[in-house]
Amino acid sequence: MPGAESGHLRSLAGTWGVMTLVAILITTLIFLSEKNARLDHAQEQLVTEAGYVQHILAAALRAGEYQQAREQIASWGSLNSDTVRLHLTADNGFVLGEFRRDAPGARTQLHRIAIPFSYRGHATMVLEKSLEPTYRSIAQLGWQLAGSVVILQLLGLVLVYQLRRYRRQVRRAQSEYDRRLEAQSALERMATLDALTGLPNRYLLDEQLTLRVAEAERFDRKLALLFIDLDNFKNINDSFGHEAGDKLLKIVAERMSGCLRSYDLLSRFGGDEFVILLSSMPGAKQIEHVARKVFEALQPMIQIAERELFVSASIGISIYPDDAESPSDLLRTADAAMYTAKEAGRDCYRFYTTTMNEALARRQQIEQGLREALADGDLYLVYQPQVEIASGRICSCEALLRWRREGREIPPGEFIPIAEQSVLMRQIQSFVITEAISQRAQWKRQGIHDVRIDINFSGASQLISEMIPQLLQVVDDAGISPADIGIELTEHTLIDASEQTIARLSDLRERGSTISLDDFGTGYSSLGYLKNLPVDILKIDRAF
């Protein structure tokens, strides 16, 4: 953050300034102390030398050797380059000996000492020495100390820079750590939570199911699993698009979440399937209560893409350890119960029974058999005539799908509902279209011109919408007219059809095809809405 960075820099600059002032203060104190010490040392050295010279001169003067004293004064001065003046004067003012040397700045850089002493008379010796070497060493010390301060300042600047750089590196490292931690958390969420609904996904469900089964076994408790499949969700997804389907799933997930206790688990198992785990359920009544709450939560209308949708679900219920010995068995038996609920008419729940295993196995057997039938040519069509009562003339025939397997006829009521819910429906519908139109073309070649073949369209609205262009193409390739072909749809299929499907049905009708509404009376049973739909014929259900 810019503000925090600026504040930190000001703090570092302030610290560096204080360190600089402290360094200057300490350096100044050291300099003054050393200066005084060196000057004191020079004074002490002057006193020592003066005493030595006095001793030499006194010996010569006592012996009356004045010339020798003068020579000693000259010799001393020449040998000691810092001696500026050595002067020996008698009390009567007579100069006994003197040495002088020109010294720059002698007035300000001299140490002077006057020492009286006696020989045969009385005299005074004056010794003056230049302090230039001392001050030169003091100046050198000053420069050294000043250089030290500069070096300390530079080191301080380097330290400030390094601290700033270190802080940036630490901040970047912390930011990278936080980013990786967030990414890891996101990956963990992605690994365990459904991206669309935010519910635990299948991976987390498997983990929790294993833990809760072990817990139920350890404490001798029961665990209930509700396998929930939304009814006709594929039709909604195909008719209104995946975006609408996703919105619907999110709303359904929110509604079902409100039906559970805090320690129960709701998971999105995949697609339009959900699983509820109920821990410590005392009996069937409590489980049924939860199932009814789910139905009540789904009952209110859901508005998506400006369409009012109603959602129902089929629920299969299995209980551990009554119905299963392992987590996988618990899921399998609940799934079998769910399919039984669908076969019972949907929008209901069923508890697992052992006979459901046979039904599930039979369902899987039929799906596999249909795959083989498509490949081996075991599917075929029969044509049920429709007779005009007034004239007794056959006006149309309904193409009915049949399946012969190993010489035995499989009842349509046994395999068609399963086919409609499987991924094979597109292939089966394509087979029916091709076979029926081929038969109509053959009749035309045989001179039969006024008998229409009606083809049943099953499955999702989107599938129907996609199959209509194929039907028109096959009609054109066969050399017949769209008027030679009719389409039959169930009431539920047409009511749930998308706008695109309605538009394509209307276009097909305008080309001459007949649209029939089958099983009228099993759903909305209202004639009012029919005026907005492309329908020519109503087939009344027996239950109406």
CB 428 within 8 A of CB 419: yes
Structural fold of domain 202-353 = Alpha-Beta Plaits (3.30.70)
From CA 71, how far away is CA 78, in angstroms rounded?
A: 11
Q: Provide the pLDDT for residue 249.
A: 93
> What residues does each domain of the chain span?
1-191, 202-353, 364-540
Ordered mean pLDDT values, 10 residues apiece, the chain (544 residues)? 53 68 80 80 77 76 74 76 77 76 55 57 76 79 79 76 82 84 68 87 91 90 93 78 88 92 90 91 84 93 81 92 90 91 87 80 86 91 90 90 90 86 86 94 91 85 81 92 90 72 88 83 56 76 57
CB 247 within 8 A of CB 241: no
What would the CATH number be for the domain defined by 1-191?
3.30.450
pTM of the predicted structure, to 2 decimals: 0.51
CA dist list (Å): 118 to 55, 77, 86, 87, 99: 11, 22, 17, 15, 20
Q: Prior bond to 300 cis, omega within 30?
A: no
Q: Would you say the C-alpha torsion 452, 454, 455, 459 has a positive or negative sign?
A: positive
CATH superfamily, domain at 364-540: EAL domain (3.20.20.450)
DSSP line for 148-190: HHHHHHHHHHHHHHHHHHHHHHHHHHHHHHHHHHHHHHHHHHH
Which helix (H) or strand (E) segment holds residue 506: the answer is helix 499-510
Q: Would you say the C-alpha torsion 241, 247, 251, 257 has a positive or negative sign?
A: positive
Per DSSP, 411 falls in state P
- For residue 139 the two structure tokens come to 């100046």
Classify burial at 430, counting beta carbons within 10 Å of its beta carbon; exposed 0-12, middle 13-18, buried 19 or more.
middle
Q: Provide the pLDDT for residue 85.
A: 78
CB 517 within 8 A of CB 539: yes
What counts of helices (H) and strands (E) characterise the chain? 14, 18
